[in-house]
Structure 1
Amino acid sequence: MTSQPAERILVVGDPVVALDEQTLIPDGAVIVEGSTIVAVGPREQLAARGPFDRVIGSRDHLVMPGFINCHYHSELAAGPGLYQLIFERANVHIHSSYGPMDTEDLATVLRWGLVQAIKGGQTGAVDMFYGRPAMPDFGAEVALSVYDEIGFRVAFGLVSRDQNTYVHEPDEAFLARLPADLATRVRQSPMGYAWPVDDVMASYDRLVRRWDGRGDRIRVLLAPDWTPACSDELYRRCRAAADHYGTGITSHVLETRSEALWNVRTHGRPALERLADLGVLGPDLVCAHFVWVTDDELRIFADSGAVASNNPGSNLRLSSGICRARDILASGGRLAFGTDGISFTDREDFFAELRLATMLARDPRVFDEIRLDSAGVLRAAGENGSRALRMEGKVGRLAPGTFADLLVVDTRRMLFPPGRYDSTPVLDVLVDRASAADIDTVLIHGKVVMAGGRVTVVDEDALADRLAEVGERRLYRPTADERRWAALGAEVEPYVLDFYRPWYETRHEPASVYNARRL
């Protein structure tokens, strides 16, 4: 049987944002054959290498690499809206967030999330997936099948955790703080969302054998949840498994102030030192949020080659703080960006997320520093995003031999009125003014997944109708048990606040100050 020749596509834009040896190519073009970019250069030269099966873009468009979301929770597509509780406080509520769902409901939620991600300019993600304990392999097979169906690129991690289920101390110690009746009811509830580690690791073993490397788009990671919830033994076990399979690790690291204090008080050293001593910190680790890193830890981090995912919208929503983006870059550390599945705009618009990150780095205490270098930020997002995906050098830039993950962005609104931005670097305009609404076309692995602003791999309207049905009938209609568990979280919360209050009274030297109480 004779295979069909790969489709040849000419993608044109003024400019092409290659982020390769040449950052910008005015009036440029990209030739795509199958899944791969085969040429990048001046439009006139590349157009002469036709014929092409189709031509995409124009001189009113800009072509750039697709964004890589380095910290994403696909399940959060079920609940866009008012996320507002810092992780420690939300911990006793997460188990009661939604009503029941079956595997098809889960697939519907995940499809919807990936449609929004594509429309927001994302072509890949590092997904920390908590899963549903009643489903085989916690629903991970369902999730990976949806990624495969949509054609999205993913590094997929099934979350594990094995200690400190309720707060940052052993479970029985915290339960002893509660009235006896309340402690009994907590023990009998699903509060804490910690699945048996042996079961999670067995699922990982099956998933990595079945899915890792699928279609050159899917990697399977280890995802120890975050530093207070994971024992040294669990981190070592994840490191051994990642080394055995050659995959990677992602974890919430230094997301909150109390997390940073817990590592020092419990282990006698900061979180980054602990992870380094355990052998976890390395080039295949993604540290999600990474807000509360100290100067000493920054040096350890930069030397390690690990990637920090700055999730600015989520960090603000959850009162986690402001990631030290400028300091990470200045230290030589690898900085990338993510949405946490709860983006600043609630629309997964990666332009807005990147803009927020860069503007939060404008420190009013430093008079001679204004904006981060736009080309440097975009390069960091691409290069470090490719490492986070465990696809180093294969995505995040437009160059021969890389996979064709790219955006075609209409520049007419961004550059209006004519002449206003002629003397402004185009990448500054892109970072400051572009939005998801400007994205016309998205390619992932050489396949057009969005054209004319509409996702092509699913029927968006039918999917929206299906999600509305799932929400109306089940997802947002909690059972009596789930209502009881939600009320239980509200009963426990005051004890959680009492536990953490001394941690937040501990004095520290802030890295960012944005206003003054007194002068």
Structure 2
Amino acid sequence: MKTCVPYLCLFALFAMSLPSFADGQSKQAVAYDLVVKDATIVTMDPERRVINDGVIAVNGDIIAFIGTTSAFQTTTAKGIVAKQTIDAKGKLIMPGLINGHTHIPMVLMRGLIDDVTLDDWLRKYIFPAEARNVTKDFVRWGSRLALAEMIRSGTTTFADMYYFEDTEAEETKAAGVRGILGETWIDFPAPDNKSNAEMAAYTEKFLNKWQGDPLIHPAVAPHSIYTCSEKTLRDAAAMARKYHAPILIHVAEMRKELVDSIEKNGATPVQYLERIEVLGPDVLAAHCIWTDYTDMKILADRQVGCVHNPSSNMMLASGVAPVVDQRAAGMRVGLGTDGPSGSNNDLDMMEEMDLAAKLQKTYRVDPRALGAKGALEMATIEGARALHMEKEIGSLETGKKADFVVLNLNVPNAVPMFDVYSQIVYALKASEVETVVVGGKPVMKDGKVLTVDEAQAIAKGIEYGNWVAASLKN
């Protein structure tokens, strides 16, 4: 048997005990699930930082790093291991947009009836059309089509109130989008429930099923004070609070609603809801147009989230919400599209930001009334505050959800760029949305929606449109 020289044996043993250089590098390298590099990043964080030559690194559904390329290289001096890398050189990243109020299955009634008053639109056209056409499959395909549209325009979170919300929740989760989804309560037979007892039972089952889901936040949605009795409003609020769920409701949308409430209840819609103990930080109130300073103080003090819907309010001539005064009063004011039928006809939050700023300028006859940065705030961090989700979403910060949008700047309407907020709100369009990430997972990449079969959804949209048109002829 051969033996080695003692000092050579010792050297061999020492060498075998050392890890290889490659092994040492891989063990010390920082691992990420997703790295997006070389972008201009609009953070919407408390300092409203804009990071040039920036990097976002994600682990799971959380932002693990955000900063400059040089800072990233310093913190990862031993190297990185990334499962997926996106090169965003020459592109812009902003937080995912938050659509605070909509009814997404109504895309299947897009353009059905326009240019009428809100009261007529609801009672003469929409409620009858829904009674004849809205089924579980209608909601499924309407949701699927709408989700593709929202993803394409940079929406990563939306708040919805409609029927068959369990089906909508299934579609929203499959699309990888974040949803606050409210089952509608209304004091007449609805497409999914023919009585208040059925409505309550369906809602309770819905709440039980989806609570705790990382994407879906189930909610209770009493439609309004003019379609729900005091008992229904109180019962809806009680059920929501039993399950610690949000309450979604239309508030002070029409002047008629204000006049009727004062006549019937002796109070404005806001003051009536306060009197019957519905208002609170768990309430998301859509519109809030016809509000006076007393109403604004109540809404601010009760930390109610309010959602401004400029396209809808303009299209239905419902009035102009005093957004500047509401923000000054300390209200939590977000931004929404409203439904994509008759009250808007699309789900484009890029467009809503532009309109929100310009509508306030016109309303107050003051070009300084609401600037581009304020409009972007309403669609991002202030929208998150309206939902009481500002610790999770609405800005790009370490420890928050990795919900963001990559915008292409290599288009004629994107250059030159002097002010990034002005460019986003007044110049860029939904067509510039290139990649969308929700919870660290791309739902759209390089212009292709990954989580919805768009061709199938479009074909079904045409099919259901023909079905709706035929039903109204009978």
Bucket of the pairwise TM-score, normalised by the shorter protein: 0.7 to 0.9
Matched residue SS, 2:89: coil
Matched residue SS, 1:158: strand
Q: Which amino acid aligns with 2:407?
A: V
State the distance in 2 between where 1:243 and 1:113 align: 29
Q: Which of the numbers 334, 337, 356 marks the counterpart of 2:335?
A: 337
Q: Which amino acid aligns with 2:470?
A: R
Question: Is 2:92 aligned against 1:62?
Answer: yes
Aligned CA RMSD, in angstroms, stands at 2.5
Deviations 1:221-256 (A, max 9, x none): 111111112222222212221221111101010000
Matched residue SS, 1:321: coil
Q: Which of the numbers 82, 87, 104 marks the counterpart of 1:52?
A: 82
Deviations 1:26-59 (A, max 9, x none): 2212111121111111123225632322222423
Alignment CA distance shift 1:194-1:360 (3 Å): farther
Contact 1:219 1:390 in 2 (8 A): no
Q: Which amino acid aligns with 1:92?
A: K
State the distance in 2 between where 1:354 and 1:403 align: 22
Q: Which amino acid aligns with 2:100?
A: C
Matched residue SS, 1:149: helix
CA shift for structure 1 position 388: 4.5
Q: Write out aligned runs for 1:23-422 (5 A).
A: 23=48, 24-46=50-72, 49=76, 50-81=80-111, 82-90=113-121, 91-97=123-129, 100=133, 103-129=136-162, 131=163, 139-162=164-187, 195-214=194-213, 216-342=214-340, 346-363=345-362, 366=365, 370-389=368-387, 391-413=389-411, 416-418=414-416, 421-422=417-418
Contact 2:40 2:93 in 1 (8 A): yes
Residue matched to 1:437:
431
Matched residue SS, 1:397: coil
State the distance in 2 between where 1:6 and 1:247 align: 36
The percentage of aligned residue pairs carrying the same residue is 28
Q: Which of the numbers 28, 35, 46 marks the counterpart of 1:10?
A: 35
Contact 1:224 1:235 in 2 (8 A): yes
Q: Give the TM-score of the pair, scaled to structure 2.
A: 0.85
State the distance in 1 between where 2:229 and 2:385 align: 26
State the distance in 1 between where 2:204 and 2:227 align: 21
Deviations 1:465-518 (A, max 9, x none): 23333444x34321xxx545xxxxxxxxxxxxxxxxxxxxxxxxxxxxxxxxxx
Matched residue SS, 2:157: strand
Alignment CA distance shift 1:108-1:376 (3 Å): same
Alignment CA distance shift 1:275-1:13 (3 Å): farther
Q: Which amino acid aligns with 2:459?
A: D
CA shift for structure 1 position 345: 7.2
Contact 1:37 1:399 in 2 (8 A): yes
User: Which structure would you say has the larger Rg?
Assistant: 2
Question: Is 2:463 aligned against 1:464?
Answer: no
CA shift for structure 1 position 95: 3.4
State the distance in 2 between where 1:450 and 1:345 align: 24
CA shift for structure 1 position 404: 1.0
State the distance in 1 between where 2:120 and 2:344 align: 23
State the distance in 2 between where 1:53 and 1:456 align: 18
State the distance in 2 between where 1:385 and 1:364 align: 22
Q: Which amino acid aligns with 2:355?
A: L
Q: Which amino acid aligns with 1:117?
A: M
Matched residue SS, 1:97: helix
Contact 2:108 2:464 in 1 (8 A): no
Residue matched to 1:496:
none
Contact 1:123 1:152 in 2 (8 A): yes
Q: Which amino acid aligns with 1:246?
A: H
State the distance in 2 between where 1:191 and 1:84 align: 25
Segments of 5+ residues of structure 1 without an aligned counterpart are: 132-138, 166-189, 485-519
Contact 1:69 1:122 in 2 (8 A): yes
Segments of 5+ residues of structure 2 without an aligned counterpart are: 1-29
Q: Which amino acid aligns with 1:288?
A: A
Residue matched to 2:469:
476
Alignment CA distance shift 1:245-1:387 (3 Å): farther
Q: Which amino acid aligns with 2:143?
A: L
State the distance in 2 between where 1:109 and 1:365 align: 37
Contact 2:414 2:427 in 1 (8 A): no
Matched residue SS, 1:233: helix
CA shift for structure 1 position 218: 0.8
State the distance in 1 between where 2:44 and 2:364 align: 31
CA shift for structure 1 position 105: 4.3
